[in-house]
Amino acid sequence: MGKYFGTDGFRGKAGVDLTAEHAFQVGRFLGWYYNALRERNGNNEPARIVIGKDTRQSGDMLEAAMTVCPRERLRLRPSPIW
């Protein structure tokens, strides 16, 4: 996993190392993992996951590929948003 993930998220060249298929597989795994974790703790509500991105064009492609389910978009926000 260290090949693709750094301390701040995905790493690699979009469209080469990080493709839409790769992002889809990561999103699919994260959805499964967090829903399984919630169910194990007795919570059957669907997991909510926040995806942060910057303004590069590849961010839209990666976000769309990762979130093929209903989602709530935060749009562009300053960092941090707390």
The torsion of the CA quartet 10, 13, 14, 20, rounded to 10 degrees, works out to -70
For the entire predicted model, the pTM comes to 0.66
DSSP state of 5: E
Residue 47's nearest CA partner among 26, 62, 32 is 32
Residue 18's nearest CA partner among 66, 55, 71 is 66
Summarised one tens digit per residue, pLDDT across range 67-76 is: 766 666 767 6
Summarised one tens digit per residue, pLDDT across range 20-51 is: 888 888 888 888 888 888 889 998 887 777 77
